[in-house]
Amino acid sequence: MKILLVHSYYHKRGGEDEVFEQEYHLLKTKYNVERLYFKNHIGLKGGIQFLMSIWNFLAARKLEKAIRRFKPTVVHMHNLHFSSGPLLIRVAKKYNIPTVVTLHNYRLLCPSGTLSYNGRVFTKSLRQKFPWTAIRLKVYRNSYFQSFYLAFITWFHKKIGTWDMVNCYVVLSDAAITLFHECSKSFVQEKMIIKPNFVKRIEMESSPRNERFLYIGRLSEEKGIHVLLNAFSRSDFFIDIAGDGDLKHEVEQASARFNNINFLGSLNKAQVLAYMKDCTALIVPSIWYEPFGLVTVEAFVSGTAVIANNLGAMSSMIIHGYNGMHYDGSSEDLLQKLGDWLRMPEFQKDKLREGAMESYKRFYTPETNLEKLMTIYEVVKNNETNRN
């Protein structure tokens, strides 16, 4: 089987970029795989890319050349926003190549992409024929035009049937598949399949854990940073915070003001795993419908339990009392759960940590992921063959 992976890299590297590379290297261990990738830019060049994304004939030409040369069995597309665009789906269809698209976010449902606005869950536009509410609120880059144009691209390709040309949509969690299926007729259940991301297992020596909590991730509003800081600034519980983002300055200020809040800055992979295995628990306070939580899997692989907002992927990835704890999204309930955790006998904490490791072994290993990917590719290939 010959697999062509397609992806547009973000200007600032993110989780989708990492997943694309992970799956490429995983598939290469057994199959003939090639990559076609694009790069999002900022400034004038980025503006031109954004305007062209509705019908990017230059990107389409690159895909045509790759298909003619490589002759793939399957094309698997990840991010198409905005330096490539939905036209690539139509190119694959033109050559009768089965197409798989991974939905890493909610951009095809709402121009916000995160279903969050102004620090709160935002779902008002999900059942509108055209997301005028999202446009009025400027949910994408605080811009009327960019919010409108992004929504128009999605609507236009829905009208001309582009999204219906995809053979299989890969979603990352139960919560995501429910949202896509309920909110758009383009995403029928027969074409959707759940395949979570994965993390490689790294052997680590066990050591006594400290009583410090840990947050690792983007320092942005939708990640619940304000909830996190509000909770810890009102307690004597200790937390280490690692990452970068728009709210970095607020985290630095809180770290300078409160002795129990420690800002670590950005960490490399080895440092992340070291802090994971030493902390008492990881906190995931996201206030948006996370399609998946890669940092949660990184916690599981290090045998670390997770305390998370009961929303999005966390509602199914975290099983309360088995591999972690849920809270209701408020800083008050987060404080309550932090206290409950620290008062918990150590043997009970260890039980949840064992559950975290078991969750990893069952769902998030490279071997499980490879098997799932190949099942998807075989199904779409056979369905396309039978159709022709």
pLDDT tens digit string along 38-66? 999 999 999 999 999 999 999 999 999 99
How many C-beta atoms surround the C-beta of residue 343 within 10 A?
Answer: 7
Closest-CA residue to 79 (of 19, 30, 119): 19
Mean pLDDT for 351-362 is 97
pLDDT at position 239: 98
**pLDDT of the residue at 388:** 64
Per-residue confidence (pLDDT) for residue 203, from 0 to 100: 73
Rounded to two decimals, what is the model's pTM? 0.90
Rounded Cα gap, residues 270 and 280, in angstroms: 18
Tell me the C-alpha distance between 246 and 12, whole Å.
12
pLDDT digits (tens, 9 = 90+) for 323-351: 999 999 999 999 999 999 999 999 999 99
The pLDDT of residue 385: 72
What pLDDT, on a 0 to 100 scale, did the predictor assign at position 161? 96
Output the average pLDDT for the chain: 94
Please, which pLDDT band fits residue 69 given cuts at 50, 70 and 90?
Answer: very high
Of 4, 30, 1, the residue nearest 369 (C-alpha): 30
What is the model's pLDDT at position 202?
Answer: 75
For the structural domain made of 212-363, what CATH number should be given? 3.40.50.2000
Per-residue model confidence as pLDDT tens digits over 182-223: 887 778 888 999 999 999 887 767 778 999 999 999 999 889
Taking Cα atoms as reference points, which of 76, 246, 85 lies closest to residue 169? 76
pLDDT score for 270: 87
Sign of CA dihedral 233, 123, 216, 11: negative
Span(s) in the chain for CATH 3.40.50.2000:
2-198+366-387, 212-363
Predicted pLDDT of residue 155: 97
Q: Using 50, 70 and 90 to split pLDDT, how confident is the model at 83?
A: very high
Q: Read off the amino acid at residue 117.
A: Y
Predicted pLDDT of residue 235:
96
Please identify, in words, the CATH class of the domain defined by 2-198+366-387: alpha beta
> Which pLDDT score is estimated for 201?
83
33: burial class by Cβ within 10 Å (0-12, 13-18, 19+)? buried
Q: What mean pLDDT do residues 168-179 have?
A: 91
Q: Is the pLDDT of residue 386 over 80?
A: no
DSSP 215: E
pLDDT digits (tens, 9 = 90+) for 100-143: 999 999 999 999 999 988 878 899 989 899 999 999 999 999 99
